[in-house]
Amino acid sequence: MLLGIVAAGLLHGAAGFAKGPAQAIVRLRIVGGLAGVNQYTRHEQPFWLRELPRLSGGRASADIVPFDRAGIRAQEMLRLVQLGAVPFGTAQLSSSAVQDPELAAPDLAGLNPDPASLRRSVDAFRPYLATMLRERYGIELLALYTYPAQVIFCTKPMRSLADLTGRRVRISGSSQSDWVTALGAIPVQTGFAEIVANVRSGNIDCAITGTMSGNTIGLDKVTSHIFTMPVNWGVAAFVANREAWNALPSDLRALLRHELPRLEDAIWAESAKETGEGIACNIGAPSCADGRKGTMTEVRESPADALKRNEILVRNVLPGWIRRCGPQCAQVWSQTVGPAAGVALP
C-alpha cells in the first residue's frame, strides 16, 4: 500500500511541475541502497535530500529510504520498479541475478582484484545492461554504484585460501557460493544484518562482506583474521520506472542525467577509499579515521593465492554462471566483460 502511494505521489508531482508556480515542485520518491553504509549515508541520502533541491533551484525535492528498511527484498527490486510500485530504486545486481543470471557478469567472484579492474568490467557491461533493462523491464538505467571490496573475515587463524577448506563461510550470491565451494568450504547464505549473530552462534566460521561494513556491524569483535584479497565488490544499479521517468519535466530529466554520473563517481571514489580504510580500522592501524579500531590480524594474498583465485574463476565460477544463465550468457560474456577483463570462456 505504501509503495502504491509513493508511485502515485511521484506522478502527481511530476504532472504538477509543468502547470504553473502553484504546483511547480516535483517530489521524487527514492528507494536507495543498504542502510548504514557510507554509500547511502554520505552520498545517496545527501544528494536527494540536499543537493537536488539546491541544483534545481527549489523546483524539485525528494524523499529517500534504504531498501532494507522499506520492507523490500533485494531480489524483488527490478520487478517493483517495472510495476511502478517503486518509481526510482537501487537494485543490487548480485541479488537481481537470482531472476536474471546475466546481471552477475561484471562482478563475478574472483574477477576483479582491484577497483580499476572492476571499473573496466562494469563499463564494458553497461551498454548491454541498459538495453536489457529497457527491453525486458521497461526501466531506465541512470547510474551504477559499487560497494567496497568484499573480503573474508574468519574466527580462526588463516594464512592462505587453502585454510578455508572445511569452514562454513557466509556468502551473499551464487558466484560467491561457487567460489567458496571450489575451495572445499561450505557456503552459507546469510543476510547482511544477520552476519554477527551467525558468527556468535557458531553457524558460520567466516564471512565475506565489505571491509568497512564489517567494521560497522562489529564483525571485528567476533572474528580474528581478515583476508584482504577482494572476492568481489557489490555493484548496484540505480533505475527508474519508464512511465515515472517520462512523466518528469524534460529539464529535470536533463538535470538528473547530468548530475547522477557525478554521484556515481563520488560513490566509486568512496568505495576505493573505504576499502583501504576498512582494513586499517579492523586491524587497528593509525590511519583508521572513521571506523572503530579493532585488533584483527591482516592476511594478504600471496602469488599462489592470486593464481588460485584466477583458476577458480575460470574452472568453477564462470562455468557455474553459464550453467545457471544459459547459452546466451556465453555470448554476452564474449561481447562485453570477457574481452575487457582478458578472460575467455573455458
CB 164 within 8 Å of CB 158: yes
> Would you state the pLDDT for residue 192?
84
State the span(s) of the chain assigned CATH 3.40.190.170: 2-146+234-275, 150-232+277-340
Helix axes 303-312, 174-182, angle to 10 degrees: 120
What stretch of H or E contains 306? helix 303-312
CB 209 within 8 Å of CB 153: yes
Which residue(s) pair with 139 in the sheet?
A: 241
d(CA 120, CA 66): 28
pLDDT tens digit at each of 346 positions of the chain = 334 333 334 433 333 344 344 446 899 999 999 888 888 999 999 999 999 999 999 999 999 999 988 888 889 999 999 999 999 999 999 989 989 999 999 999 999 999 999 999 999 999 999 999 999 999 999 999 999 999 999 999 999 999 999 999 999 889 999 999 999 999 999 988 899 999 999 999 999 999 998 998 999 999 999 999 999 999 999 999 999 999 999 999 999 999 999 999 999 999 999 999 999 999 999 999 889 999 999 999 999 999 999 999 999 999 999 999 988 899 999 999 999 999 998 7
Here the cell at position 266 is 563520488
List helix spans (H) across 150-210.
174-182, 195-201
d(CA 42, CA 274): 12
d(CA 63, CA 166): 46
Per CATH, the number for 2-146+234-275 is 3.40.190.170
Select from 5, 69, 4 the least CA-distant residue to 32: 69
Q: Which residue spans within the chain are E strands per DSSP?
A: 26-32, 60-66, 88-92, 139-146, 150-154, 168-171, 186-189, 206-210, 225-232, 235-241, 297-299
Architecture of domain 150-232+277-340: 3-Layer(aba) Sandwich (3.40)
> Would you state the pLDDT for residue 41?
92
The whole-model pTM stands at 0.88
d(CA 203, CA 188): 9
What's the Rg (C-alpha) of the chain?
A: 21
